[in-house]
Structure formats: structure tokens, C-alpha cells
Amino acid sequence: MIQVVLKQNKNKKMPNAYGLYYAYPVVNETYDLDKLAEHMSSHNTPFSKGAIKGMLTDAVNCIRELNLQGIAVKINDLAIFSLGIKNKMGAKSIGEWSAAKNIAGVKSRARATGNLISASLNLDATIKRVDKGVIVVDGGGTDGGGSNGGGNTPSGGSSTGDNTSGGSSTGDNTSGGTGKDDSGTSGGDSGSNGDNEHIVL
């Protein structure tokens, strides 16, 4: 169950979205590696919490090591991990370019794969609007919120990667667009009334 709250867009620089309400997910808790290992050990596995945490820790360290060598790491049904470049400014010519002057830094990127892409999540996700008790069983759409299947909004938005402004992405920063694997739906089509609303799209 994904809990969402509605927030009003107050950015006047986005006239098509200004004043409209969009859904934002509520994060109830964040699991670190220790809690993730404990959770995994409860799933009828022969491995102890300590053994699982050790493997996860090694995996994290190896992914970082490989990414720094220019090697992307794909974990099926999770994500493809790689590094991206933050460009500070462009160079007028190849000869004038230098890393110190033109590159601001390096960033980590993760692009969802398999069961974590939007098309797959849409089939299983259930969204509950906690401020009004509205439950939407469609994997993304909300009544009047205009959010899409991956939890991204067309104007207010959230992302599957880095922070966005007015859009969604599959890894990099974007402005005003949507990324791949998004299957947007807009709500408000159920025609039902009352505080508790069940919508199937």
C-alpha cells in the first residue's frame, strides 16, 4: 500500500500546473542495510542476518568499485547502476575543454529494470490517499491528481532517479518532461462520491 497526500503546486513559473493538486508519496520508514538484512532473514532463508548483511555490504562496495571503472552493474529486477557526469559549463572548442573547468562532479545513476519498471509496478501497486481516505486501485492514478503509473506527476513531479523539476526521469535530472516506462493515467473517472472512494482504472 502506497500512501499519498495531495499538495498544491504554487510555482507561478509553471502556468499549466499552478494551483493544481498533485499526489506525493508518504515514506513511512527507511530501511538501512541492517534492517534489510533482518527482513530478508525472516523469509525462510537458511542464511542468517549477519551473513546476508555481509553479502549486501560486499555487493554495495563492488558496485561502487565497478562504477568508478566505467562499468555499469545490472541487478535483474532492481536497477542498472552507473555513474553520470555533472557538467558545469560547455566549452567553445575541444581545445578549451578541461575537466577542472567544465565538469562540476560525478553522480550516481540507477535505472529500474524488470519488476521495478513502471509498467510492472502498475500491475501490483495500490495507492491510498491518506488525507481524505481515498483508495485508488490502479497503480498510480489519483482523483484529480493527474499522476502517472510510476508515481511521477506531469507537473509537480517525483522521479525514479535524481530530483526533477516539473517532470520525471529514469535516472538523470530533467525539467518539464517524462521518462521512459511511464504509463500515465489521470483519475476522476469513477463517478463515485463520499469520503471513501474506491477507483479502478
One-letter amino acid at 191 equals G
Mean pLDDT of 73-77: 97
76 φ, ψ (degrees, to nearest 5): -55, 140
Please compute the mean of the pLDDT values over residues 98-126 and round it to a whole number.
Answer: 95
CB 108 within 8 A of CB 169: no
- State the distance between the two ends of the chain, measured CA to CA, in whole angstroms: 17
Q: Does pLDDT of 27 surpass 50?
A: yes
136 forms beta bridges with 127, 199
- Note the Cα 16 to chain centre separation in Å: 23
* pLDDT of residue 142 exceeding 90: no
- Residue 192 — very low, low, confident or very high, per pLDDT cuts 50/70/90? very low
pLDDT for residue 40 is more than 50: yes
- Residue 132 has what pLDDT? 64
Cut 0.85: pTM above it: no
Bridge partner list, 82: 109
